[in-house]
Amino acid sequence: MKAVRFVGEHAPPTMQDVEKPTVRDPHDVIVRIAGAGVCRTDIHILDGAAPLQPAPPPPFTLGHENAGWIDAVGSAVSTVSVGDPVILHPAITCGICMACRNGEDMYCTSTRFPGVDGTDGGYAEFLRTSVRAVAPMAKGVLPATQAPLADAGITAFHAVRRILPELRAGSIVAVLGVGGLGHIGVQLVRTMSPARVFALDLTPERIELATRLGAERGFSTDDPDFPAEFLKASDGKGADVVLDFVGEQNSPDVALRILRPGGTYSIVGYGGRLSVPTVAMITREIRILGNFVGNYRDLVELMELQRQGRVAVSAKEYPLREAPRAVEDLRRGRILGRAVLIP
């Protein structure tokens, strides 16, 4: 079958012929891929800055944000059948360690992460995963268009879900970066909490997208007066929470500048550095949270919101063979929402 693979640092993603995966374990599931989202993490891997260290050696198939149909199942699988539309939790988990028992799938002690840790991912016609990773989709939904919920969506959901206890009526959440994750984050804060959303980005198109999706106001982080205006718009208080979907360049500095004392800075994007004197942590009682993908339960709940029409993905489709162009478009900020590869 065709697969687009990481073949070495600084090489473009490359289409190759590989063997179709088959059921090897009673809990295995083979998924025929309908769509696979393109993520900034793919760029980090291609650039030799993989999030998991030591970086897994090439070659392997990229793609950790996948949806499709069940193609084959192992002997112990009874909860899904061939032909079912499914979305895939990014990780393959054991189900017996204490993390799995607590629902903390990303902490499974024997986890695998297709498309990221060297296990073959979903930039391909088929993918092997486990029955524990597949979540059924509502009838009538086209899996391809929903693929971004598998990683961009689950990660945004996880980050938003974790700040819900902070959010009261009148709270202000600053969403920093309205890209693949951020445009979902705006909707989730709006539909899951009584908070207000202020959106921050560089480009007018994205700020406009955010306001269309429920943000009360938008700010251009290019504008040198923006922190002062933000402060004014929040009655001098600042943001109760900053959700940083960028995490690189100066985004930590921007976030801390607009955060109120006692507020929460929640980091989702990465690539940069957080640097702050401890005295500022103390006197302003700052709280900082890192976020790493999300739990299976997060994915199930997100799909329920999608089913109810309370969250929608803005996606742009590319044929699988045009993966290099999709990656390049993402790198250059040309995508509004998320790019999805269609085999």
Residues that bind a copy of itself (CB under 8 A): 49, 51-52, 79, 95-96, 98, 100-104, 106-107, 131-132, 164-165, 168-170, 191-194, 196, 247-248, 252, 261-262, 267-292, 296-297, 300-302, 304-305, 308, 310
Q: Answer for the pair 10, 47: CB distance below 8 angstroms, yes or no.
A: yes
Determine the Cα–Cα distance for residues 276 and 93; give it in Å rounded to an integer: 36
Q: Answer for the pair 205, 225: CB distance below 8 angstroms, yes or no.
A: no
Which CB atom, from 5 or from 260, has the smaller least distance to a copy of itself?
260
Report which secondary-structure segment, H or E, holds 38.
strand 28-38
Which CB atom, from 257 or from 310, has the smaller least distance to a copy of itself?
310
Determine the Cα–Cα distance for residues 103 and 158; give it in Å rounded to an integer: 13
Q: Which residues are registered as beta bridge partners of 280?
A: none
Burial 148-181 (b: 16+ CB within 10 A, else e): bbbbbbbbbbbbbbebeebbeeebbbbbbbbbbb
Minimum separation from the CB atom of position 193 to a copy of itself (A): 7
Minimum separation from the CB atom of position 322 to a copy of itself (A): 28
Backbone angles phi, psi at 155, to 5 degrees: -70, -45
Q: Which residues are registered as beta bridge partners of 129?
A: 29
H-helix segments, 284-322: 296-307
Minimum separation from the CB atom of position 106 to a copy of itself (A): 8
Which CB atom, from 16 or from 75, has the smaller least distance to a copy of itself?
75
Which CB atom, from 10 or from 101, has the smaller least distance to a copy of itself?
101
Minimum separation from the CB atom of position 31 to a copy of itself (A): 18
Which CB atom, from 4 or from 152, has the smaller least distance to a copy of itself?
152
Which 3 state secondary structure label does DSSP give 200? strand
Minimum separation from the CB atom of position 89 to a copy of itself (A): 11
Which CB atom, from 208 or from 301, has the smaller least distance to a copy of itself?
301
Which CB atom, from 272 or from 324, has the smaller least distance to a copy of itself?
272
Minimum separation from the CB atom of position 140 to a copy of itself (A): 18
Determine the Cα–Cα distance for residues 63 and 23; give it in Å rounded to an integer: 20
Burial 220-240 (b: 16+ CB within 10 A, else e): ebeeeebeeebbeebeeebbb
Minimum separation from the CB atom of position 263 to a copy of itself (A): 10
Which CB atom, from 72 or from 276, has the smaller least distance to a copy of itself?
276
Minimum separation from the CB atom of position 269 to a copy of itself (A): 7
Determine the Cα–Cα distance for residues 303 and 148; give it in Å rounded to an integer: 11
Comparing C-alpha atoms, which of 21, 46, 24 is closest to residue 124? Answer: 21
